[in-house]
Amino acid sequence: MRAFITGEEFKRARLPIVYIWKRGEEWLYVGMSKCGIARIFSNGHHAINLENIQDTDTIKWISFDTVKEAQSREEYLITMFQPKYNTKLTSRRRLLQKFQDLGGAV
């Protein structure tokens, strides 16, 4: 395990990020943080916590220059991969699909 980061890594870790929690190839959760990686390590995270995470799980994060860029990427990844624990957007997607199935225009 690496126990240090560079100054550049430190700075990027404090920018807006999108983080991805996976178990093997399964996408479990995608989230966005305005204040960098602190959100991932928060004791109060509703999905990523000591009860849910397994030793072989991976969490990746991508830094962005703006919150708007991070929000856009988060929504794209959730829509594309439909992670197991992203129920809020998944519910919106299901409602939109039902509306479209009933002949509604978007």
Give the SS3 label for residue 95: helix
- One-letter identity of residue 74: E
pLDDT tens-digit map of 11-62: 999 999 999 999 999 999 999 999 999 988 888 888 898 899 999 999 999 9
Q: What is the pTM of this model?
A: 0.77
What pLDDT sits at residue 104? 61
pLDDT at 8 over 80: yes
Segments making up each domain of the chain, as ranges: 7-101
Q: Which CATH superfamily is domain 7-101 in?
A: GIY-YIG endonuclease (3.40.1440.10)
Q: Please compute the mean of the pLDDT values over residues 61-65 and round it to a whole number.
A: 96
Angle of helix 87-101 versus helix 67-81 axis, rounded to 10: 60
Least confident of 20-24, 48-52, 93-97, 100-104: 93-97
**Residue 95 tokens, joined:** 């409602």
